[in-house]
């Protein structure tokens, strides 16, 4: 009896779920409760403003009048494909942003359309709420650089509990073996992401899927961002030369091979056996 009742409840529950899905009430988009403004804040604001001037990417005020809607949709859907296809406008944008390719956003067509709508409506406003944050002009001193290095290497924990930059990134000359190799080398990141303003904006809400996953729930604080920017600025002078690490790897491998060879010749007799060696010796003696 009991088993039958439980089974019945199960089937009813499943039925309700199927019905709700069918009505589109529990769609993924709806479940996250995102609208175009949130999407813009999460995905675009690290590189773009609307009427706030250029960061890494161009100021998007009036972009809908500069480009036609179909082009925008195509570009936002897959920027890399657009650049690779040799589109002259896309090539120009790439050059302007100093070679930084816009990341492919994890958004569907409907949400990109909504974003374009948002761009259009916000461009008409005198002062958009997406004009970008105000970056302080406070001069950055050596203590900021030192603090930035501490944050980068993880000697100072991030206040929101994010992972230290060092675990995935490296900059030239940091640590004995350099930092992680999972993310890109950050030696030139200050130049690449458009200086103090661009880098500050980018660190405030990182755009790539990996960084979002890592820092989405552990955002950096304003003070931390300033220190990191100072640190990266100080690193810009250094050359991005990956050779020493390859040399280190090569030397390591060579050393390991040499050690194995040495051990092997030291314990050569370990696999030699008794009888075979004895017979061979007798054969040589004749």
Q: Would you state the structure tokens that stand for residue 239, as one six-digit string?
A: 């050359």
CA angle 233, 238, 241 (to 5 degrees): 130
Beta carbons of 111 and 39 less than 8 angstroms apart: yes
Give the residue with the Cβ less far from another protein, 137 or 265.
Answer: 265
Give the residue with the Cβ less far from another protein, 6 or 269.
Answer: 269
CB of 269 to another protein, least distance (A): 8
Q: Would you state the structure tokens that stand for residue 105, as one six-digit string?
A: 């956003």
Which residue in 20, 81, 181, 278 binds another protein (CB under 8 A)?
A: 278
CB of 256 to another protein, least distance (A): 19
Residues 213-252: x/- map of binding to another protein (CB under 8 A)?
A: ----------------------------------------
CB of 263 to another protein, least distance (A): 12
CB of 4 to another protein, least distance (A): 24
Residue recorded with tokens 């995102």: 34
Give the residue with the Cβ less far from another protein, 213 or 259.
Answer: 259
What does DSSP assign to residue 271? G
Give the residue with the Cβ less far from another protein, 175 or 273.
Answer: 273
Closest by Cα among 39, 56, 194 to 122: 39
Residue recorded with tokens 């000359």: 173
The helix (H) or strand (E) run that includes residue 149 is: helix 142-153
Determine the 3-state secondary structure of 53 from DSSP. Answer: coil
- 285 near another protein, judged by CB under 8 A: yes
Which residue in 5, 266, 275, 284 binds another protein (CB under 8 A)?
A: 275
- 268 near another protein, judged by CB under 8 A: no
Residue-wise DSSP of 74-134: HHHH-HHHHHHTT-HHHHHHHHHTTTPPPPPPS--HHHHHHHHHHHHHHHHSSS-TTS-PP
Which residue in 11, 237, 270, 284 binds another protein (CB under 8 A)?
A: 270
- 273 near another protein, judged by CB under 8 A: yes
List residues near another protein by CB under 8 A. 269-270, 273-276, 278-279, 282, 285
């Amino acid at each position: 009896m009991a088993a039958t009742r439980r089974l019945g409840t199960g089937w009813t529950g499943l039925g309700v779920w199927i019905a709700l899905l069918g009505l589109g009430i529990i769609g993924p988009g709806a479940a996250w409760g995102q609208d175009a403004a949130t999407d813009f804040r999460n995905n675009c604001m690290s590189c773009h403003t609307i009427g706030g001037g250029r960061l890494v990417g161009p100021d998007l005020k009036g972009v809908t009048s500069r480009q036609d809607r179909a082009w925008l949709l195509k570009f936002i859907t897959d920027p890399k494909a657009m650049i690779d296809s040799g589109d002259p406008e896309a090539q120009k944008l790439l050059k302007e942003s100093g070679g930084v390719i816009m990341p492919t956003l994890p958004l569907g067509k409907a949400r990109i359309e909504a974003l374009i709508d948002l761009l259009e409506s916000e461009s008409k406003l005198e002062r958009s709420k997406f004009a970008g944050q105000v970056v302080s002009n406070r001069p950055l001193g050596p203590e900021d650089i030192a603090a930035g290095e501490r944050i980068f290497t993880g000697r100072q924990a991030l206040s929101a509990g994010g992972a230290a930059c060092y675990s995935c990134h490296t900059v030239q000359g940091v640590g004995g073996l350099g930092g992680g190799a999972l993310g890109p080398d950050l030696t030139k990141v200050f130049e690449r992401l458009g200086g103090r303003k661009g880098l500050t904006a980018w660190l405030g809400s990182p755009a790539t899927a990996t960084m979002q996953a890592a820092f989405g729930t552990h955002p950096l604080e304003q003070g931390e961002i300033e220190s990191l920017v100072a640190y990266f600025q100080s690193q810009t002078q250094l050359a991005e030369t990956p050779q020493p690490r390859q040399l280190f790897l090569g030397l390591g491998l060579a050393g390991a091979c040499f050690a194995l060879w040495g051990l092997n010749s030291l314990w050569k007799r370990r696999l030699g056996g008794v009888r075979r060696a004895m017979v061979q010796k007798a054969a040589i003696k004749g």
